[in-house]
Amino acid sequence: THKKLHNTERETRRINRILGENTDKTFGIDISHYQRKEDIKWDSLSIGNRTIPIEFVVLRATMGNRSADRNFDEFWTLAKKHNLIRGAYHFYRADEDPVVQANNFLENVKLEEGDLPPILDIEKIPKRKSNEKLIEDLKTWCQIVEKTYGAKPIIYTYYHYYKDFLKGEFDDYPLWLANYNDVPAPAPEEIEWNFWQFTENGIVY
């Protein structure tokens, strides 16, 4: 219990330091059905001890070939109603079909002017495909979605996943990196990133 409390205090200090060093940035959160509908007060979302407003929200829309987040439609409507910038992401299942997965996303997500570009969440390594085939499949997903929306999808992944598998293949795509370590930025300077998911434990009011 003491160790858990110490880790929580350390994470809180890290988050507060990141917030303090990025006061000129825009902050947002991601939401899926793991957040209970009754717990979200859409008209007053904030962080940093209620000093920083949440300006955008990214919602999990679809997963793999057939699945969709059961709260997506409701959350999507509520986010717009409360004047939040919206984003929608597809959780990519590495061993499933990229064309079917792209169509699953397109059937469930209707982006409008002012929304973020479509987002591809890739964080799993395939069990039945080579890494080369994975890259080919991810590019297929991106091309289908980009053709529909006229915008390059944002690639969401972890720093080491990007470095080990994706770097050099998606350099002209906007990059969203998750890095929960005690670092001043999610990646070294040679990797150009647009979004940083810096914690999975922050307090949102």
Alpha helices in the chain (DSSP H): 2-21, 72-81, 98-108, 131-149, 159-161
30 catalytic? Reply is yes
Degrees to nearest 5, angle at CA 105 with 122 and 172 = 50
The residue whose two tokens read 């434990």 is 201
**Selected catalytic residue, list 9, 21, 107, 123:** 123
Query: What is the rounded (10 degree) CA torsion for 103, 161, 129, 70?
Result: -30
CA dihedral 186, 187, 193, 195 (to 10 degrees): -10
Of 30, 96, 115, 137, the active-site residue reads 30
Compute the distance between CA of residue 74 and CA of residue 112 in angstroms, rounded to an integer: 16
Burial of 186 (0-12, 13-18, 19+ CB in 10 A): buried
User: Which sequence positions are flagged as catalytic?
Assistant: 30, 123
